[in-house]
Amino acid sequence: MKELTIDAAIENIETVTDFINEELEGLGCPMKAQIQIDVAIDELFGNIARYAYSPETGKATVRLDVEKTPLSVVITFIDNGKPFNPLEAAEPDVTLSADERTEGGLGIFLVKKSMNLVEYEYADGHNILRIKKNLE
C-alpha cells in the first residue's frame, strides 16, 4: 500500500495524479485505464477540494493498493470533511443536450461507468470513497 496525505486543494490534483501514475506505470497499466483513472482522480479529489471543508481547507489521504488476481488497483480517498455520499446523487439524463441538463452529477456518473467498483462509506468521522480498476 502506498499513501499520500495532502491538503485538499484544487492545485494538488496534479500531485495526486502524479503519485498514482508513478505506481500505474510500474504496473504496466494500459493507457486507456490510466486515462480513466486520471479522470476519476480529477473528479473525486476535485470534489473533496471544492466541498468537503468549504470554505476552509483540510487534509485528504489517497491510498493505492494493488491486487494481483486479476491485476487491479484500488484507490481510496479519505477525508474528514462534511459527510457526503456522491453515489446517492441523481444520475444525469445523458439523453438531453448539455444545454438542457442540470449542472452536476456527470463526473461521478463517468467514474461509475469507467471503474469496476465504486463504493462509499462514512466511518469514524471520515468520508471513505473507494474505486477499483482492473488492469487486465
Nearest to 21 by CA among 7, 41, 5: 41
Nearest to 111 by CA among 11, 28, 42: 42
pLDDT tens digit sequence for 98-129: 555 455 556 888 999 999 999 999 999 999 99
Q: Helix %, strand %, coil % for the chain, to 5?
A: 40, 30, 35
pLDDT tens digit sequence for 69-104: 999 999 999 999 999 998 887 665 555 555 554 555
